[in-house]
Structure 1
Amino acid sequence: MTMKRSRLAIYTSIVAAVLLLVLANAHLVYVAITSQPDCVTHLKGSGEATGNFRAARSSC
């Protein structure tokens, strides 16, 4: 009987770990899809400041 219980505990732990991983990834996908970052100021032209990055295309 102890062998069956230990196998059941192992399988239950594996299923719980996989379920936790799937739920965590589903939450990350949900947050990535539903969130919209705020607009930030960025360099508009190429000659404003050297060495700084700018947006390829502004969505604001």
Structure 2
Amino acid sequence: MKNLIRDLRGERGWSQAHLADLLSVSRQTVIAIETGKYDPSLPLAFAISRLFARPIETIFFPDQEPA
């Protein structure tokens, strides 16, 4: 699954470590999500959605490009 987390994080000037702290996960988890090596659990996906104030479907999408 692809996602826009790296872009959204970059727009805010947040480091991976800062985002990890905000989500109460490890920096390695943030890296794995950003690179598409780990799909977050539904509760974590909702937390990411709330943090960036965007619907989940605008952050995460299948391996094709977003519409």
For Structure 1 versus Structure 2, the TM-score category normalised by the shorter chain is under 0.3
TM-score after normalising by structure 2: 0.20
TM-score after normalising by structure 1: 0.21
- Structure scoring higher RCO (CA < 8 A, sep ≥ 6) equals 2
Q: Going by fraction, where is strand more abundant, 1 or 2?
A: 2
* Largest Rg, 1 or 2: 1
